[in-house]
Amino acid sequence: MAGGFAGGGPAKRADLYEHKTTWYFVLACLVASLGGSLFGYDLGVSGRVTSMDDFLVDFFPDIYRRKQSHLNETDYCKYDNQMLTLFTSSLYFAALVATFGASYVTRNKGRRASILVGGVSFFLGAVLNAAAVNIPMLILGRIFLGFGIGFGNQAVPLYLSEISPAKMRGAVNQLFQLTTCLGILVANLINYGTEQIHPWGWRLSLGLATIPATLMFVGGLFLPETPNSLVEQGRLEEGRRVLEKVRGTSNVQAEFEDLLEASREAQAVKNPFRNLLRRKNRPQLVIGALGIPAFQQLTGMNSILFYAPVIFQSLGFGSRASLYSAVISNAALVVAALISMALVDRFGRRAFFLEAGAEMILCMIGVSTVLALEFGEGKQISKGLSVFLVILIFLFVLAYGRSWGPLGWLVPSELFPLETRSAGQSVVVCVNMLFTALIAQCFLVSLCHLQWGIFLLFGALVVVMSCFIFFLLPETKQVPIEEIYMLWDNHWFWKNIVKEDADEEKASKG
């Protein structure tokens, strides 16, 4: 099977690992996963705020006048303004930069330290945005929010993957995606209420981002550091105590020995970013650090999350109807995250990627076909076709929400060995934020110029990324995180690449 794992499974001590599910472990996971709510709340709030009339009057009066002069016109270009999209994308450019500082903090000070820094920065950004009186102040607030998301998205997926037993890692890691989805849904519901508060309702929407930031920071003060990070920092006794506590048993010798071995290898690596370029780490670099985070954004999903209210208004839905449609889409994300959490450790990562990918392709073809035949140049879509479009977008979101959404964070976080894990996760977040920012900056102008073709383009990209998964990603379900590297030795494509590096290393030592 392409991408399969031959060879009978990990050959170390994985069969000796023991664990029980304790309240200590559950609470640690729930608190850490609050990092996703920051990301989700911003995704949900920013798109709706940019279409609120009061916000547009204060900061983008030209767009407001254009919107009012075309109230009865449904076209693709109502919101095409690069400064408006910079309001959204500046956060992700800032997160891209912040993730390199986050890598240093995460590796040397621990995952918990990055979570705390992320909470403080996001809080400051929310305050600045809520109090903004001009565009530079708005952008500065977005930059602080971006720093918060850069630190949080760097540390939280690692934290959840490292603290989890192998058999539960998929479900636990996807708490990050679940809280992201819940953040988006809550943001849309809040926007529904604040839109009725004139003229400062948008300030309340942006300012309420302080609540998840505060919860993450206060909860982070009580979080245990991961055993992997403590061992990496040389705090061995503390690392063992935490491992016993999160596993609910004192019989952790086998897993602790694997952590010690991984730590010794990590200590030998002085430049983890340079080490990422070695041939033995080529699979993790290509799949985890570059391919999956880039493809996650090229699905087009974040365009829908950013601009769902704008999209539905552009398609002729009224203001209230567009909000209802966006809430329906966000509810689909939450349902999909729960489905993925329940089943991903049973059916595996590859099955979810491939099955959902086929569904996403069909949905994008359907959306582009309807728009090509029935929409544009002031032409109003019928009520029946409008409902059909909402259903297609709902199914697309449902497919993404159980595949590329959660697995785009889960799979990279479990691929890297300890010595390159924080550096690898930094590249993951960097690539993810770069493509998120580019999509945010370019989507509205692309919608204006490519029109229905933008959705067909996203469908074609899903074909490419599904082939990428089919041929290059081995199945990682229930494989201990410190033994993932063994998968490459048995993979039809990667085994020759990593073998050459191993042979060169032996030759240099000999």
pLDDT of residue 92: 82
pTM exceeds 0.85 for this model = no
Percent of the chain predicted with pLDDT > 70: 85
Residues 6+ apart with CB under 8 A from 109: none
Q: Given this model, what pLDDT does residue 185 score?
A: 86
Alpha-carbon distance of 435 to 293, in angstroms, equals: 8
CATH code that applies to domain 14-63+71-223: 1.20.1250.20
Q: Do domains 14-63+71-223 and 272-500 have the same CATH topology?
A: yes
Least confident of 1-5, 113-117, 316-320, 349-353: 1-5
pLDDT at 473 over 90: yes
Residue 465: per-residue pLDDT? 95
Q: Mean pLDDT, to the nearest integer, of 433-459?
A: 80
pLDDT in tens, 167-209: 888 888 888 888 988 998 898 889 888 888 989 999 999 999 9
Mean pLDDT for the stretch of residues 23-48: 86
Domain ranges of the chain: 14-63+71-223, 272-500
498, 489 Cβ separation under 8 angstroms: yes
The separation between the first and the last C-alpha atoms of the chain, rounded to the nearest angstrom, is 36
Q: CA–CA separation, 284 vs 279, rounded Å?
A: 10
CA neighbor of 311 nearest in space, from 139, 301, 404: 301
Q: Does the pLDDT value for residue 364 go beyond 80?
A: yes
Task: Give the per-residue pLDDT at 76.
Answer: 56
Checking if the pLDDT of 8 tops 70, the result is no
CATH code, residues 272-500: 1.20.1250.20
Q: Does the pLDDT at position 75 exceed 70?
A: no
| Per-residue confidence (pLDDT) for residue 453, from 0 to 100 | 85
With 50 as the cut, is the pLDDT of residue 5 above it? no
pLDDT one-digit tens code per residue, 197-255? 989 999 999 999 999 999 999 999 999 999 989 998 889 999 999 999 999 888 888 88
Name the helix (H) or strand (E) containing 439: helix 418-450
Cα–Cα distance for residue pair 31/201, rounded to 1 Å: 29
Q: Tell me which amino acid residue 373 is.
A: L
pLDDT for 1: 35
At 132-171, the pLDDT tens digits run 999 899 999 999 999 999 898 888 988 998 898 888 888 8
**Cβ–Cβ under 8 Å, residues 158 and 415:** no
**Confidence check: pLDDT of 508 > 70:** no
pLDDT computed for residue 218 by the predictor: 93
